[in-house]
Chains A and B, each alone.
Chain A
Amino acid sequence: MLRIFGTPLRTVGAFFVLAASLLSLGETAAAQDKKVLRVVMHSGLRITDPIITTAYIARNHGYMIYDTLFATDENFDIKPQMVKDYSVSDDKLTYTFTLRDGLKFHDGAPVTSADCIASIQRWGKRDGMGQKLMDFTKELTAVDDKTFKLVLKEPYGLVLASLGKPSSNVPFIMPKRMADTPADKNVSEEIGSGPFRFVAAEFQPGLKVVYKKNPDYVPRTEPPSWMVGGKIVKLDRVEWINITDYQTAVNALINGEIDYIEQPPHDFIPVMKKSKDVQLVDYNKLGFSSMLRMNWLYPPFDNVKARQAVMLAVNQQDYLDAQIGNPDYQMLCPAMFVCGTPNETDAGAPKQNLEKARELLKESGYDGKPIVMMQPTDLAIVAPLAPVTAQALRAIGFNVDMQSMDWQTLVGRRAKMDPPAQGGWNIFHTTWVNADMMNPLANVGVNARGKTGGWFGWPEDAQIEKLRDAYARELDPAKQKNIAAEVQKRAYELVTYYPTGQYTSPIAARANVKGILSGPAPVFWNIDKQ
């Protein structure tokens, strides 16, 4: 028999197993005492400031630790959240807000008007809707510690919609000292007044984020609806663990090592459906959509006929089949401001017509030079879009140079205004959370401010900008809807972008996870682990 220092190997082995079991016993017992939800989000949290970046993971982090003055409910109504009550003057120029009692930051300091004003001002420097609101704002002043006033230069129809916008950038309220950080610099603390507290000692950027229940949080009494209502925390601890390999994440979920995956790829849905321990929750019915974006600065897409040729050469069904491939989770939707929202319309929507597309391409004077299409190979949800476009464009006579790259290279390159042959580009695709696309101000695809304030691709059109401005000024929702339809019609006519279809992506969770709320972003209040 093999011996180590005279002791039989079997005895030594038994000793080690016993010692190991005893060592792990204490930890297991401690873990069982608490309700811990282990979560795999769509990405690792690296940038923690939800104002400096529009990244959705930073927004989701924001909803954990910060709170908002207003929020959007499932009927798209804007309701008070940190605000107890508010009033609007008869001339629609002065909004007065009073904060709820008992609002406290995680460092124990009370939330004051000064914190709210500084937070709105910082957000107003970054966010598109925030910038517009600030353009209309004459002054933002504190009345007392719990009351502040927003005075407009002229009536503006999107004051509450801006303060209660549900997606990036969300106007989260921070302590004044944090909100005084320049808007292009990351805040250096993680102190909010939200339902969870950030555990700084356990933060590993890109790997793990830990949140604990905030015992001082005073939830509203109304039932939760989207981002509105009582944020009642039923968990002791939420851990966001970044598992980059979805196969591993799904295996870990089925095995019970994690409790929740925010966005499992659609390919894994059949596997998870087979497990009795896993449930799929279609939490974000508004879903996501993708877009094809062309660069207006250079030929051939500086010519509207070439852009129209592209639009008539493609169709949403092909994109969705390649991208999602599951009819339960995909939807044809011509509405630029999203199907299922108050601004839904099919105004100006195109129908595929290859013959007409070829004619338009000929009329555009396209000279056959290769068009540079960027394809991000590392983003499974975006990667299939470029090959679909390439095939459709080649079918009508375009010469397509599809260049594969990682997403971050694409992100850097799309900001370049250089000609395509000198490091620029002609076409790229991306996806959006639909909560960011619901109106002409939030939807960057219809921003037509060109090189001065426009989004990548830089479409420029005075008429669209005039309509967007009218939308912002309009106070009547019915009239706003009509204006949105006009914006969409014009945007399709000029092809500011082509929406390639709408889809949803369910949360996968263990069957014992209850109370997952629907909404445009995943939230962790109301969730219980039984």
Chain B
Amino acid sequence: MTEGQAVQFPHGADIGVRGTGTTRAAAFAQAAAALAAAIVEPEIVSPTEVVSITCAAPDDRLLLYDWLNAVIYEMAVRRMVFGRFEVSLQGQRLEGRAWGEAIDPARHEPAVEPKGATMTGLKVEQARDGTWIAECIVDV
């Protein structure tokens, strides 16, 4: 289980997602967990299938944008919901894994379809206490 916290926060018609953790990688994983939880409660997702996702970008903020959009893409084309994520980072290259299962509308009752991560409010930073924060507004 990735340490840290996954939080959603209000943003007009859209949804804000925030991941925090002691490492940049944990914050990225938790941001994806917050995104996935906007669609379906994570505790009802069986981690029966794992999907590998890699991406690379010139800076941290764009890397978060790419990572969340890659998660959205995999959910859309595989028709899956995810409940857990792991991320490892080497510089600006991300290797991630997402655990989940095929959507079962009756059981999951997915609430909303994420369209894409936006660049407004993109934030990847380390707080004074050392906590990493990865934050984004997602259009739904």
A binds B: no
- Report B's interface with A, CB cutoff 8 A: none
